[in-house]
Amino acid sequence: MTKQPAKPADDDSDLLEKLLSDVTRLPDHGRVIHARPKHKPIPVQRLRDERAALADSLSDHITWDIGTETGEELVYLRNGLSPQALRKLRRGHWVIQDELDLHGLNSVEARALLVKFLNGCIRSGARCVRIVHGKGLRSKNREPVLKTKVANWLIQRDEVLAFCQARQVDGGGGAVMVLLKAGSRKQD
């Protein structure tokens, strides 16, 4: 003979009924409880993303502070600095201590890399750097997309004192020479 599993004496509902048998119901209070209206969820992250995109798009516009002395050449000198500093930068007076090449990157990638590069230059104490943005020969309408964006991004940084188009031997119209503030070098 095979043993069959023991059946429970009562199922759960019978047990509950037995337990609640001496409980008396509370008197009806006569009030109607209305269901609360459900609010639509707020897409907080999407709103943050849209605000960030708007701020980025507004920050990419050329300001009137950029001098365009010879056609498409971008020149910038922070207020209060001597024009002599810009002249020296144009003539290659300072040694190029570091460089960044942005060829083949889109605007988002280029901006992130530029920020990282400038932060590294300040930490290392670099004063003169070259940023290669390209001439736009392979872009739509053969226009340099990154050229004006790089100029705008540089203007927004406090550590950038001046910049100008690189000399022909340093990249010409496809690069920009940047003079940075002297930073405190951090010892590793």
pLDDT in tens, 31-79: 888 888 888 888 888 888 788 776 665 555 544 444 444 445 778 999 8
pLDDT score recorded for residue 69: 42
* pLDDT for the residue numbered 57: 59
| AA letter at 4 | Q
pLDDT tens for 101-159 read 988 888 889 999 999 999 999 999 999 999 998 876 666 666 667 888 898 899 888 89
Average pLDDT, stretch 13-18? 86
pLDDT of residue 18: 86
Consecutive H or E run containing 58: helix 44-59
Q: Which class for 74: exposed (0-12), middle (13-18), buried (19 or more C-beta within 10 A)?
A: buried
Among 101, 113, 66, 81, residue whose Cα is nearest residue 180? 81
Q: What domains lie within the chain, and their CATH numbers?
A: 67-180 (3.30.1370.110)
- Once rounded to an integer, what is the mean pLDDT over residues 78-90? 89
Task: Note the pLDDT of residue 180.
Answer: 93
The band of 171, judged by pLDDT with boundaries at 50, 70 and 90, is confident
H helices, E strands: number in the chain: 5, 5
Give the model's pLDDT for residue 141. Answer: 64
Q: Is 94 exposed, middle or buried (0-12, 13-18, 19+ CB in 10 A)?
A: middle
Secondary structure (3-state) at 18: helix
Q: Quick one: pLDDT band at residue 28, thresholds 50, 70, 90?
A: confident
Tokens 């709103």 identify what position?
47
Angle (CA) 78-73-96 rounded to 5° is: 65
